[in-house]
């Protein structure tokens, strides 16, 4: 059992997030793993969740080289009962969640011509990429409201700002996430809770996207993690509502 960490302690300059308990969904690999490692390096206690037990174990071992304040929970965040258990387990083990990164997401079966997609494809993509953000945020927000502090960072995509052939289901999920994030920000800012959304372009991960890209012309998972850290470390009286993240070299 990880050592419980008090999120109300004062952060040390060398570990600026040492007063935070972070939950990163989809945190076992790719972008989520990079985010979890970055937050741990900055001093946060970190819980990761995912659907692949072996990947969770591997990432947990890496995190424990950085901090003892680590927890991993197998969970499918598209299911409300698993979300409830995830949040309860995290707060019992580490303390109240003060930083939520809604990162869990999938590409396929979200890519392909609309006429070739099925209702099952729609449900899979929208439930993972959009419904999960609603479920996890709803579960975490009450304790944030009670403490009048919290950061929620939603990982979206530039596909949430643009359309393209073969992207109907994926774009729909990410356009929906943009709207959800904006409304959450307005609902929660009066309670001291900051909601931000990051929209990366193509990222070099094992994520199932639209085909191979030139590694020199795409983002890395660490680029997205850096953006998350920037949002988490911003001044206490402001919040950055939206970040567009692009590679320097145009694909």
pLDDT tens-digit readout, 25-39: 999 999 999 999 999
Q: Is the pLDDT of residue 180 over 60?
A: yes
Contacts of 78 (CB under 8 A, 6+ apart): 127, 128, 131, 132, 135
- Give me the helices (H) in the chain, please: 30-41, 53-64, 80-94, 119-126, 132-147, 168-188, 221-232
| C-alpha to C-alpha distance for 244 and 225, rounded to whole angstroms | 13
Q: Determine the 3-state secondary structure of 192 from DSSP.
A: coil
Q: How far apart are the first and last CA of the chain?
A: 45
| C-alpha to C-alpha distance for 28 and 20, rounded to whole angstroms | 20
| % the chain with pLDDT above 90 | 87
Q: Is the pLDDT of residue 95 over 80?
A: yes
Domains annotated on the chain, with CATH: 21-245 (3.40.50.720)
Q: Is the pLDDT of residue 122 over 50?
A: yes
Mean pLDDT of 134-154: 98
The torsion angle over the Cα atoms of residues 151, 243, 245 and 130, rounded to 10 degrees, is 60
Strands of the sheet containing 99-102, edge to edge, are: 70-74, 45-50, 21-25, 99-102, 150-155, 193-200, 242-245
Its pTM stands at: 0.93
Tell me what pLDDT residue 176 has. 98
Tell me what pLDDT residue 14 has. 80
Q: Is the pLDDT of residue 121 over 70?
A: yes
Residue 160 DSSP class: G
Q: Is the pLDDT of residue 2 over 50?
A: no
Residues known to be catalytic: 170
| C-alpha to C-alpha distance for 247 and 251, rounded to whole angstroms | 8
The torsion angle over the Cα atoms of residues 131, 200, 142 and 149, rounded to 10 degrees, is -170
């Amino acid at each position: 059992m990880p050592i419980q960490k008090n999120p109300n302690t004062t952060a040390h300059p060398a570990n600026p997030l040492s007063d935070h308990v972070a939950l990163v969904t989809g945190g076992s690999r790719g972008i989520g793993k990079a985010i979890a490692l970055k937050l741990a390096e900055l001093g946060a206690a970190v819980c990761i969740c995912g659907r692949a037990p072996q990947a969770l174990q591997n990432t947990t071992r890496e995190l424990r080289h950085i901090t003892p304040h680590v927890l991993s929970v197998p969970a499918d965040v598209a299911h409300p009962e698993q979300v409830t258990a995830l949040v309860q387990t995290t707060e019992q083990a580490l303390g109240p969640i003060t930083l939520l990164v809604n990162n869990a997401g999938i590409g396929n079966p979200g890519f392909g011509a609309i006429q070739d997609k099925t209702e099952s494809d729609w449900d899979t993509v929208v439930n993972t990429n959009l419904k999960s953000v609603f479920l996890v945020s709803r579960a975490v927000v009450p304790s944030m409201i009670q403490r009048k502090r919290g950061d929620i960072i939603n990982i979206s995509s530039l596909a949430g700002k643009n359309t393209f052939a073969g992207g109907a289901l994926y774009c729909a999920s990410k356009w929906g996430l943009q709207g959800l994030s904006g409304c959450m920000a307005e609902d929660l800012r009066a309670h001291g809770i900051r909601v931000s959304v990051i929209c990366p372009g193509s990222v070099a991960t094992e994520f199932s996207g639209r085909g191979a890209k030139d590694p020199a012309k795409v983002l890395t998972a660490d680029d997205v993690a850096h953006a998350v850290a920037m949002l988490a470390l911003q001044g206490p009286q402001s919040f950055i509502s939206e970040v567009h993240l692009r590679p320097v070299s145009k694909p």
